[in-house]
């Protein structure tokens, strides 16, 4: 039996992953920008907004976003793709803006740390000025990385974090922290309606094979028979949120009252060691991969788990897809991707 057969055999009726249902069309169609709309998260958000009856403008410079992520959306006459880097100003009359533009995996954002910082800071500034000019509501996809290697566990929004300001991750960590400052200052000084969410580790279909984060790394290594690479002893922890749950959190935050500016944590509070994740991926794929250990990278957090009390109280939001359920769909995604001819696979990298 191949690995997909094994996975599906392991999945009982109650363990089948939940697919995102098509939301009912809203009474009023909005014109919405999704910056970073061709990326992993952005493409899922674009899809959901289109299903809800909105007009969606996808802005992406395609540094890490992929055309194939949004190819199926181009049949909608309410969907438009504009190749644009938000480091440069942009002008368009819209009702809402989601700022998801910025590489989120360490290998990608560390390739050009200066541009990563520019994307976080100048890109946020340009989109905030657009929101100010047009009266649009704007959501910032911030990150749990603002907590750094936390001394508080689980992490609550009032925690200021423990971030290295000049380490290899700081272009992203400090860039996102500065972006949050800009958002709240635009709200205080110019009354821009802002929403800030802090995203914890998210996974699911449309992740790139070379994404570089732990879920995609382990799955690709297991499916291709490579050794599973764990950095450190594997006792460090992460919390993994399935993409459908995260997108629902985005929508609820954007629709919340103006007084709720955030920051609000969005993530799954289920906590796993990296070693546990590796064993689960090996078991679900039926892989014979061995686990090997390498030194822990600089500033890699020891613990990461969100306190989602605020999201539950103010948004009525909590994740529904557990790790085993979400991994079924994610493994299926990578299995289909890796089965493609070499040329097609190269285009997905």
Q: Which residue from 58, 50, 38 is spatially nearest to 78, judged by alpha carbons?
A: 50
CB 271 within 8 A of CB 301: no
Distance CA 303, CA 276 (A): 14
Residues 6+ apart with CB under 8 A from 168: 106, 110, 113, 297, 298, 299
Whole-angstrom CA distances from 122 to 168, 182, 264 are: 20, 10, 23
Catalytic, 159? Answer no
List strands edge to edge, sheet with 194-199.
79-83, 55-60, 31-35, 96-99, 137-143, 194-199, 264-266
Q: Could you tell me whether strands 79-83 and 55-60 are parallel, antiparallel, or unpaired per DSSP bridges?
A: parallel
Distance CA 141, CA 133 (A): 21
Catalytic pick among 3, 172, 203, 231: 172
The token pair that represents 199 in the structure block: 């995203």
Distance CA 167, CA 67 (A): 32
Distance CA 39, CA 45 (A): 10
CB 232 within 8 A of CB 274: yes
Concatenated DSSP letters for 43-84?
HHHHHHHHHTT-EEEEEE--SS--HHHHGGGTT-TTEEEEE-
Whole-angstrom CA distances from 33 to 60, 119, 124, 312 are: 10, 16, 13, 26
Which positions are catalytic?
A: 172
């Amino acid at each position: 039996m191949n690995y997909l057969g094994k996975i599906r055999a392991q999945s009982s009726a109650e363990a089948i992953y939940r697919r995102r249902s098509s939301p009912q069309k809203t009474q009023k169609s909005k014109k919405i920008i999704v910056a970073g709309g061709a990326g992993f998260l952005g493409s899922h958000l674009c899809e959901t907004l289109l299903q809800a009856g909105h007009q969606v403008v996808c802005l992406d410079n395609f540094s890490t976003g992929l055309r194939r992520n949004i190819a199926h959306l181009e049949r909608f006459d309410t969907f438009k793709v504009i190749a644009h880097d938000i480091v440069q100003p942009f002008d368009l009359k819209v009702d809402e803006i989601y700022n998801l533009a910025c590489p989120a995996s360490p290998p990608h954002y560390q390739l050009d740390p200066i541009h990563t910082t520019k994307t976080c800071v100048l890109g946020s500034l340009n989109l905030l000025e657009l929101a100010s000019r047009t009266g649009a509501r704007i959501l910032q996809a911030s990150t749990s990385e603002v907590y750094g290697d936390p001394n508080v566990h689980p992490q609550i929004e009032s925690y200021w974090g423990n971030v290295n300001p000049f380490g290899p991750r700081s272009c992203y960590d400090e860039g996102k922290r500065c972006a949050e400052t800009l958002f709240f200052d635009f709200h205080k000084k110019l009354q821009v309606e802002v929403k800030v969410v802090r995203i914890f580790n998210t996974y699911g279909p449309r992740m790139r094979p070379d994404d570089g984060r732990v879920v995609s790394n382990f799955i690709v290594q297991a499916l291709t028979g490579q050794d599973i690479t764990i950095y450190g002893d594997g006792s460090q922890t992460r919390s993994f949120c399935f993409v459908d749950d995260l997108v629902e959190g985005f929508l609820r935050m954007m629709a919340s009252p103006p007084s709720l500016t955030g920051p609000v944590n969005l993530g799954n509070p289920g906590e796993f060691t990296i070693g546990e994740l590796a064993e689960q991926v090996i078991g679900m794929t039926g892989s014979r991969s061995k686990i090997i250990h390498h030194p822990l990278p600089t500033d890699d957090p020891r613990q990461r788990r969100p306190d989602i009390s605020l999201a539950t109280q103010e948004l009525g939001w909590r994740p529904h897809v557990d790790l085993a359920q979400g991994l079924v769909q994610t493994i299926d995604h990578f299995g289909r991707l890796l089965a493609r001819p070499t040329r097609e696979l190269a285009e997905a990298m």
